[in-house]
Structures are given as structure tokens and as C-alpha cells.
């Protein structure tokens, strides 16, 4: 058990001492990233404290982002995320961005197929009546770290067979010469909720970035309407600003 050095007899509130001992175990690597925390009962027995004390110490570490509770499976040591600096000047794809940093990407599929469009999709994509919409919903993962949830909608005209997108949507569009050349992107702050928090391995209520991208062909036609949720602790969006008139 990761409780070396814990001394119930020393001064100060018990739960804070227990918290510090657990924090030291995490920071020193004795409790490895991704490892499950021993059961509350075992920690309480071993430290000779009440389960309430253990719960308070663990709650504190969850609040500070060092531990993560996963419903039904336990409490885990959070893997620290190295932040990604993402320029806001180029219309690149996730796969390209990550490859440039030497990271290996994969996706877990949340949705992929042709559907009747929602009213919002019809408006955003300028769909003619009767046109279907292709939806590509993915949890995007780089080096085994989930970074974002992306849900893209495109007119079925541009993506008649969504099953063909295996790794990169933009690479697939490029084959048909319909890769977007311009996009408007809106970034706003949010607090992640379930089920998104679970997918992104974040605590409920942690900071996320909600991003909407509408991308266009050279002709001005909309190709893609994408709603994404990025981990707030993993991304810095950086833009160059120049003095204008």
C-alpha cells in the first residue's frame, strides 16, 4: 500500500496528512500513472483511520486533478497530459497536427454513417431537401491519451460512404478534391459533463474547450460542420496578431 511515511500520531488534521502521503506516493511514482488506488477499506485499515478520513483525502486529490473516479471501476492516478500548442492560422487536420509532433493517433468511433439531417445540420450545411448527412463522431486519441471528442457533419454528397473514413477525414476529402480550404472556428470554455468526461478520462466539471468549425471549399460551399470538445488541460491555441487599421 502506498502509505509509507504516514503517521497518524503527528500534528494536524488526519485527512490532510493522508492526502499528503498519497500525493507524495503519486509524485514519486510509487503510485504509477494509470494505477488503481487501493480500496477505501484497505487504505482505512492500513492507516488505522476511518473510511470518512480516507474519502476526504481522496476527494481532495480528485478535486486537484491527481486522482480520477471512474464510475463502477474505482479511483485511478491521472496521467499528466503534456500540452499541445496549436496554431490558429492553418487549416490542418488532427492526424496531420499529431503526426507533426511525432504522436501516433487513433480514434474510437462514436458514430459513423448516413442519417436524415437535423434542422441545424440542414441550415449549417445548406442541404437541399432530401439530402442525407454523413456523421463522423470520434474520440480522438494521441499516444493513448484521449484529447478530444469530435462530431463532424457533412453533406452526403461529399462523403457518400462514411465507412471509408478510417483514419483521416481530410485525407478522404482530399481524394475527391473536396478538402476544405477555409474555416471559421469558434472556441468557448465549458465544463465537461458525462458521458464526455468519462470518454476523455477527465473529472466531471473539469475545464474543456468547446470548438465549432465550419469549413468551406474555394467556391464558398460549406463542407463540414464540426462540434468538438477538447481537453482544457491539453491545449493551448495560439494566434499571431498584427496591428491592423
Binding footprint of ligand 16G on the chain (CB under 6 A): 93-95, 150, 152, 168-171, 211, 213, 224, 226, 228
Size (the chain), residues: 245
In this complex, which beta carbon is closest to ligand 16G, that of residue 61 or of residue 211?
Answer: 211
Give least dist CB 212 to ligand 16G, A.
Answer: 8
Give the residue with the Cβ less far from ligand 16G, 25 or 84. 84
Phi, psi of 10 (to 5 degrees): -70, 170
- Least spacing, CB of residue 161 vs ligand 16G, in Å: 15
Q: Tell me which DSSP letter residue 58 carries.
A: H
Radius of gyration from C-alpha coordinates of the chain: 23
- Minimum Å distance from CB 234 to ligand 16G? 13
Whole-angstrom distance, CA of residue 43 vs CA of residue 53:
10
Taking the least distance from each CB to ligand 16G, the nearer of 43 and 136 is 136
Q: How far is the CB of 8 from ligand 16G (least distance, A)?
A: 49
Cβ nearer to ligand 16G, comparing 60 with 224: 224
The C-alpha cell of 76 is what? 485511478
Q: Is the peptide bond before 196 cis (omega within 30 degrees of 0)?
A: no
Nearest to 70 by CA among 242, 229, 194: 194
In whole angstroms, the minimum distance from the beta carbon of 178 to ligand 16G comes to 13
In the complex with ligand 16G, the residue whose CB is nearer, 52 or 104, is 104
Q: What span, in angstroms and rounded, lies between the C-alpha atoms of 244 and 231?
A: 32
Pick 121 or 150: Cβ nearer ligand 16G? 150
- C-beta of residue 141 within 8 angstroms of C-beta of residue 231: no
Least distance between ligand 16G and beta carbon 66 (Å): 28
Which of these, 20, 16, 11, lies nearest to 2 by C-alpha position? 20
Amino acid at each position: 500500500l502506498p502509505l509509507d511515511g504516514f503517521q497518524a500520531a503527528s500534528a494536524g488534521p488526519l485527512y490532510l496528512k493522508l492526502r499528503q502521503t498519497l500525493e507524495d506516493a503519486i509524485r514519486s511514482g510509487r503510485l504509477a500513472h494509470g494505477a488503481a488506488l487501493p480500496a477505501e477499506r484497505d487504505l482505512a485499515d492500513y492507516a488505522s483511520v476511518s473510511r470518512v478520513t480516507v474519502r476526504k483525502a481522496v476527494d481532495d486529490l480528485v478535486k486537484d486533478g491527481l486522482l480520477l473516479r471512474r464510475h463502477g471501476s474505482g479511483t485511478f492516478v491521472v496521467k499528466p497530459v503534456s500540452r499541445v500548442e496549436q496554431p490558429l492560422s492553418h487549416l490542418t487536420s488532427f492526424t496531420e497536427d499529431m503526426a507533426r509532433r511525432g504522436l501516433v493517433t487513433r480514434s474510437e468511433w462514436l458514430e459513423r454513417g448516413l442519417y436524415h439531417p437535423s434542422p441545424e445540420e440542414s441550415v449549417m450545411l445548406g442541404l437541399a431537401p432530401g439530402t442525407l448527412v454523413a456523421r463522423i463522431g470520434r474520440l480522438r486519441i494521441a499516444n493513448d491519451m484521449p484529447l478530444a471528442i469530435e462530431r463532424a457533419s457533412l453533406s452526403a454528397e461529399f462523403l457518400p460512404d462514411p465507412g471509408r473514413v478510417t483514419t483521416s477525414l481530410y485525407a478522404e476529402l482530399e481524394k475527391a478534391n473536396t478538402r476544405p480550404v477555409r474555416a471559421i472556428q469558434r472556441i468557448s470554455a465549458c465544463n465537461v459533463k458525462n458521458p464526455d468526461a468519462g470518454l476523455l478520462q477527465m473529472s466531471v466539471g473539469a475545464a474543456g474547450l468547446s470548438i465549432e468549425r465550419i469549413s468551406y471549399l474555394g467556391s464558398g460551399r460549406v463542407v463540414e460542420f464540426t462540434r468538438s470538445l477538447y481537453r482544457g488541460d491539453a491545449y493551448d491555441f495560439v494566434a499571431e496578431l498584427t496591428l491592423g487599421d
